[in-house]
Structure 1
């Protein structure tokens, strides 16, 4: 077992880079996970843990013992506080290998999958919130189209409370995703104000992809033009939009309601 007490240690400097820069995460093929719950969920989600860093008096031997194939490193509390992104993560973090999130790696265990597609979402908190909703609804996949945020951003992991690891996730361009969905005979329901029906009037019992975009600009033309049906959530107040993660939740749970009849 290694011991690190210096902030100048190369391992510590590399972790800080992974926390701060998506370019570094892509380069190294690694990202940081903080907290026992999140680490355990990552393991269940088949993520490979390469290193475990911990503060000795905050983590049990039983927890550490399950990482015999990883590089286990004890760090001082000062070092941990320097590299931790969150204020309270139980004195333990791990480095894990990123996954290949290609569309072709998606596996559907039923003939009528329910999928959430989110286009060009920039705020990590919104992505995290949608991943939590996707987990709660137990849908088949979340697909990020033309994503503006690295899925392994620490804020995505934090705001998803580990649901990054409980969902099947893929990324791709809007064109690639539309081609993939149509090849799989999955109906596309694009949430947009233009040429749309109220979401409650559509039938999502067959294979369906519910597509949401940013609050500022909505979905791009390709999603509106290629949709099986455009849908909207009727607004009864002054503004004409709502938070994208809230909209996603409304649509997903309507689809679940229909399927659970």
Structure 2
């Protein structure tokens, strides 16, 4: 017979809810929250330290969980799990782990790196979707400039289906990133509707980064003026913009096509 946490007033459960809801709590406690066995496996493989695992036996069953010490596992009732779960069809696991914050100088790059740079990304869902693209295209890193959402927001991890753990992610300022790109001889291509060059007519096979703005306002004047070049996607319909995650995928896979789907 296992001991179940059956009250949502349990201090551990109350803390999980605080971590989910407040980025300030995540920063202060240096902890992140996410769900799912797939995500757990990816996080462990990427070297994330698991602090606590909450298991709902009614959903998960009695299958053994690899990679987590028994002392760090707590069993919870379905009512408690339903309170702290934030996605449909969850498999009964909620994980609390330590984040990994990288810097520009710690990034590991290929000889001809390809990067995705996001300026002031606001929506966790967009960030998560772009991380899925980054994983699929095997880009070197995703750099978030002046972020308006926590890169480990639970909804960003959820929508990334675990790709938040498979891709190098850095949060920095635009000034620092622009300087770093120049020191690394990485060319920056700003995606903008006002550009004269089309993305498929641009050399994306050399060391480069695509720079994406917000859906509401696009890129700032700083990036439009200081990026090496502006590029655009041809628009043939009546609406002149695509979702930022869709646009990022188009540009990223054109870069992969030009590289023969290799990133050396």
Which of the five TM-score ranges fits, normalised by the shorter chain?
over 0.9
Query: Could you tell me which residue of structure 1 aligns to residue 48 of structure 2?
Result: 47
> Quick check: 1:68 aligned with 2:69?
yes
**CA displacement 1:165-222 (0-9 Å, x = unmatched):** 1111111111111111111111101111234311111111111101111122111111
Q: TM-score, normalised by structure 1?
A: 0.94
Deviation per residue, 1:41-93 (Å, 9 max, x gap): 11112111011110124335553253117611111111111111113211111
TM-score, L = length of structure 2: 0.93
Aligned match of 2:150:
150
Q: Which runs of 4+ in 1 moved over 3 A?
A: 57-63
Paired residues of 1:189 and 1:208 also in contact (CA < 8 A): yes
Cα 1:65/1:46, change in 2 over 3 Å: closer
d(CA) in 2 for partners of 1:64 and 1:16? 23
Taking a change above 3 Å as real, the CA distance of residues 103 and 2 of structure 1, as seen in their structure-2 partners, is farther
Alpha-carbon offset, residue 164 of structure 1: 0.7
RMSD between aligned residues: 1.7
Structure 2 unaligned regions, length at least 5: none
For these two proteins, the number of residue pairs brought into alignment is 260
Distance 1:253 1:65, change over 3 A: closer
Instruction: Mark the runs of 5 or more structure 1 residues left unpaired by the alignment.
Output: none
Seen in structure 2, the aligned counterparts of structure 1 residues 120 and 61 have a Cα distance that, compared at 3 Å, is same
| Cα deviation, residue 123, structure 1 | 1.1
What CA distance in whole angstroms lies between the structure 2 residues aligned with 1:78 and 1:154? 20
Q: Measure, in 2, the Cα distance between the counterparts of 1:134 and 1:70.
A: 35
**Native 8 Å contact 1:36 1:89 kept in 2:** no
Q: Are the aligned partners of 2:58 and 2:77 in contact in 1 as well (CA < 8 Å)?
A: no
**Residue in structure 1 matched with residue 191 of structure 2 by the alignment:** 191
1:20 maps to: 21
SS in 1 for 2:152: coil
